[in-house]
Amino acid sequence: MTNSHRTLPPLNALRAFEAAGRHLNFRAAADELFVTQGAVAQQVRMLEEHIGFPLFQRLPRGVALTSQGSVYFAEVTRAFKILDKATAQLLREPKTVTISVTPTFATKLLLPRLSALTAAVPDVELRTVATESVADFDRDQVDIAVRLTRPPFPAAFDTQLLFKQTLVAVASPHLMANRELPISLEVLQEMPLLHDSHHHWPRFFGTTDKLAGAVFNQTALALDAALAGQGVAIACQDFVQADLNAGRLVQVSESTLTVDLDYYLVRKKSSSSTPTVDAVWNWCITHLALA
């Protein structure tokens, strides 16, 4: 199978020809390309030998394109414009920043603020990876992560505390319509409890007993069930504060539970960090740090 690119002349020769064709002067072309006049003449001769016919008439002062040279110059100029346009378009492509967050963090805190982030950093294409798994920054090509963790941290990472975890029990106001709030822990334990993968309810009640209720693999799903009036969920207060403020949820008990894992913003230290990643990092600190 033949390779059509083998018939293409060298790019340097085409650049010299295009510049000389615009200026109709080898010296002016040389000045533009930061080479000698002899180098331009040599590249043009090489191109003429490659394609098999003369492109310029050499005149006492400057040069003139031959008829074939004029046709070829128009096509070469068009090709360079296509390359210029493609390069400019590539450079205008949004700069991508990948952020790894837990599903509940994404649903309750990041997504509602996404328009504010894109307004603050307009040239960013934010890719959100919602997962409970610990991010491998290199393998997963993650720039920034939000994770439940605690100090000490490896020296290779930058970290910033976003907020501590204070858990509250919440339910739909429709579910609690016939009850006076707050209710006692004894009454709460008789309510339909909604569990997630963190299994905080036993600690909330100070018991080791198994507690009945629907189990979800994500806190966000347990909160959706609570919003639908299916039971009482337990979640970080920062995740439900907007729903509490809007009256979509109510805090059913005065009791709270503080756990020893907090939400941190994390990224790998790098001397080559881009301004866009830095801008997203600083925005997250300003707008997501609720501590």
Interval 84-103: pLDDT, tens: 888 776 666 557 899 999 89
Q: Which residue has the higher pLDDT, 154 or 233?
A: 233
Share of the chain above pLDDT 70, in %: 94
The pLDDT score that the predictor gives to residue 94 is 58
Q: Please, is 241 exposed, middle or buried when counting C-beta atoms within 10 Å of its C-beta (0-12, 13-18, 19+)?
A: middle
Pick the closest to residue 216 from 201, 237, 195, 200 (CA basis). Answer: 195
Give the dihedral sign, CA 179/180/182/188: negative
Tell me: the pLDDT tens digits for 119-167? 998 878 888 988 877 777 877 788 999 988 888 888 888 999 999 999 9
Q: Region 222-244: what's the mean pLDDT? A: 95
- The highest-confidence range among 113-117, 134-138, 168-172, by mean pLDDT, is 168-172
Mean pLDDT (whole number) for 236-259: 95
Integer Cα distance of 57 and 69 in angstroms: 9
Cα separation of 35 and 30, whole Å? 5
Task: For 4-92, give the CATH class.
Answer: mainly alpha
Question: 266 pLDDT band (50/70/90 cuts)?
Answer: very high
pLDDT at 66: 95
Asked if 183 and 251 count as a contact pair (C-beta separation under 8 A), the reply is no
pLDDT, position 271: 59
Where do we find the tokens 């979800």?
A: 216
**Topology given in CATH for the domain delimited by 166-258:** D-Maltodextrin-Binding Protein; domain 2 (3.40.190)
E strand spans, the chain: 56-58, 63-65, 95-101, 124-130, 144-149, 157-163, 166-171, 193-195, 214-215, 232-236, 250-251, 257-258, 262-268
List residues bridging with 146 in a β-sheet. Answer: 265
Q: Which residues of 259-277 are buried (b: 16+ CB within 10 A; e: fewer)?
A: eeebbbbbbbeeeeeeebb
Which of 53-62, 68-77, 88-97, 252-261 shows the lowest mean pLDDT across its residues?
Answer: 88-97
Domains 4-92 and 95-158+261-286 share a fold: no
Q: What is d(CA 121, CA 283) in angstroms, rounded to the nearest whole number? A: 8
> CB neighbours (10 Å) of residue 105?
25
Q: For the chain, what are the domain ranges?
A: 4-92, 95-158+261-286, 166-258
Question: Which amino acid does the sequence have at 85?
Answer: K
Q: Which stretches of 177-265 are DSSP H helices? A: 185-189, 201-205, 219-227, 237-246
Q: Looking at residue 130, what is its pLDDT?
A: 86
Whether pLDDT at 110 is above 60: yes
**pLDDT reported for residue 171:** 97
Calculate the average pLDDT of the chain.
Answer: 89
- pLDDT number for residue 275: 85
Fold of 95-158+261-286: D-Maltodextrin-Binding Protein; domain 2 (3.40.190)
Question: CB–CB of 162/286 below 8 Å?
Answer: no
Q: What is the pLDDT of residue 1?
A: 42
Backbone angles phi, psi at 4, to 5 degrees: -65, -25
